[in-house]
Amino acid sequence: MEKIRGFEVAKGFENQGINLPVRKTKYSAGYDVEAAEDTVIPSFKPGMKPTLIKTGIKAYFPEDEYLMLANKSSNPGKRGLVMANSIGIIDADYYENPSNDGHIMYAYYNFFDHDVEIKKGDSIGQALFQKYLITDDDNAEGQRVGGFGSTSK
């Protein structure tokens, strides 16, 4: 079978019982993504950085697509969690990059007044494959040289 798009376990997580994302119903747009390890997300204080939740997965897909990371609709109300970047965008060239193998992580803030514990295997977000368009005068030639947050470097 030719590989077009899908998920794989990222390097360093091969023997850690990582479940690849799945759609739970026939008409679900997003694939449910799980936490790769227990993580405590502290209650928000001004100036703090978001907590990164490791997933232990990476994704491959055609170069004219991206993977959108979205929060679960229940997270804000049940866990006080909001994504620091509202949505995450994973570019096709993030896959197997030299600095982190394309390992996908979610960045969350906790707006409850107490720490929130995420357990390994908890569903933490959704991932949706999307096509994108470019302008007539686009001439992007840059090459990715790193992992998380490296697009503009």
pLDDT reported for residue 151: 52
- Please count the other Cβ atoms lying within 10 Å of the Cβ belonging to residue 66: 20
State the pLDDT at residue 143: 73
Is 140 contained in some domain? no
- Report the CATH number that the domain containing residue 26 is assigned in CATH: 2.70.40.10
Tally of domains within the chain = 1
Q: Is residue 150 part of a domain?
A: no
In a domain, 44, yes or no: yes
pLDDT tens-digit profile of 4-32? 999 999 999 999 999 999 999 999 999 99
Q: Which of 42, 32, 57 is nearest to 122 (CA)?
A: 32
pLDDT of residue 125: 98
For the segment 38-61, the average pLDDT, to the nearest whole number, is: 98
The chain-wide mean pLDDT, for the chain, equals 94
70-94 mean pLDDT? 97
**pLDDT for the residue 145:** 72
Q: Does any domain span residue 141?
A: no
Domain range for residue 81? 6-131
Mean pLDDT calculated for residue range 91-110: 96
Q: What integer pLDDT is reported at residue 1 of this predicted model?
A: 82
Higher-pLDDT residue of 75 and 150 is 75
Residue 36 lies in a domain: yes
**31: which residues sit within 8 A by CB, 6+ positions away?**
7, 21, 22, 23, 126, 127, 128
Residue 77 within any structural domain of the chain: yes
pLDDT of residue 140 exceeding 80, the answer is yes
Mean pLDDT calculated for residue range 101-128: 98
